[in-house]
Chain A
Amino acid sequence: MSDQLVQILEGNTFVVSDDRGDIEASRTDPTGLFSFDTRFLSRWVLTVNGQRLTALSTDDVQYFQTRFFLVPGSGTVYVDAKLSIIREREVADGFREKLRALNHENSPVDLVIRVEAASDFADLFEVKDALKKKGKYGNEVVDGSLVLRYQRETYARETWISSTESASVDENGFTFNVTVPAHGEWSTELDVVASEGSMERAGARAQDGPIGIRGQGGRRVREDMAHGLQKWLQKVPAVECDWEAVGHIYRRCLTDLAALRFTTLTLPGRALPAAGLPWFMTIFGRDSIFTSLQALPFTSELASTTLLALAERQGTRIDDFRDEDPGRILHEMRYGEMTAFEERPHSPYYGNADATALYVVLLDEYERWTGDTKLVRDLEHAARAALNWIDEYADLQGNGYVSYQRRNQKTGLENQCWKDSWDSISYRNGELPGFPRATCELQGYAYDAKVRGARLARQVWHDTAFADRLEKEAADLKRRFNRDFWVEDGEYFALAIDTDGRKVDALTSNIGHLLWSGIVDTTKARAVARHLLGPRLFSGWGVRTLAEGEARYNPIGYHVGTVWPFDNSFIAWGLRRYGFKDEAACIVAGIMEAAEVFQGRLPEAFGGYPRSTTRYPVQYPTACSPQAWSTGAPLLLLRAGLGLEPQGDNLIVDPALPLRVGHLQILDLPGRWKKMDAFGRGRVDTDRLTARALGGK
Chain B
Amino acid sequence: MTADPISQFFANLAAPGHLATFEGDSATLRFDVHDGGQIQHWYVAVSNGDVAVSRQNKAADAVIHVERPTFEAIVTGRMNAQAALLRGLLTCEGSMAALMMFQRCLPGPPGSTGRVAPISSQTVMAQRRPM
Contact = CB atoms under 8 A, between A and B. Distances in A.
Given A266-B96, A340-B86, A422 B116 contact: no
A422 B106 CA distance: 33
A431 B121 contact: yes
Contacts of A379: 24
A33 B124 CA distance: 39
Interface stretch (B8-16, B39-47, B107-115): B107-115
Interface string B1-40: 0000000000000000000110110000000000000000
Contacts of A381: 20-21, 23-24
A197 to B, nearest CB: 9
A341 B88 contact: no
Interface residues of A, number: 53
Contacts of A340: 83, 86-87
B123 A434 contact: yes
A325 B116 CA distance: 13
Contacts of A341: 83, 87
B119 A435 contact: yes
Given A318-B114, A324-B108, A423-B128, A348 B82 contact: yes
Given A319-B108, A321-B112, A378-B24, A339 B119 contact: no
A426 to B, nearest CB: 9
Interface in A535-564: 551-552
A335 B105 CA distance: 21
Given A154-B89, A341-B83, A348-B82, A434 B124 contact: yes
Pick the most buried of A156, A198, A316, A422: most chain B CB atoms within 10 A of its CB.
Answer: A316
Contacts of B20: 381
B114 A154 contact: no
A320 B89 CA distance: 23
Contacts of B89: 154
B121 A347 contact: no
A95 to B, nearest CB: 23
Given A155-B88, A156-B88, A433 B100 contact: no
Contact of A317 (B100, B107, B111, B122): B107
B104 to A, nearest CB: 4
A321 B114 CA distance: 10
Contact of B100 (A198, A313, A318, A335): A313
A316 B21 contact: yes
B39 to A, nearest CB: 14
Contacts of A498: 121
Interface of A: 153-156, 196, 198, 215, 265-267, 312-314, 316-322, 324-325, 335-336, 339-342, 347-348, 378-381, 385, 393, 405-407, 409, 422-423, 430-436, 498-499, 551-552
Interface of B: 20-21, 23-24, 77, 79-80, 82-83, 86-89, 91, 96-97, 100-101, 104-109, 111-116, 118-125, 128, 131
17 contacts: A154-B88, A198-B88, A317-B77, A317-B108, A320-B113, A340-B83, A340-B86, A342-B79, A347-B80, A347-B82, A348-B82, A379-B24, A407-B114, A432-B125, A434-B120, A435-B119, A552-B131
The 9 closest A-B pairs by CB, nearest first: A340-B86, A317-B108, A319-B108, A347-B82, A266-B97, A154-B88, A320-B112, A318-B114, A434-B121
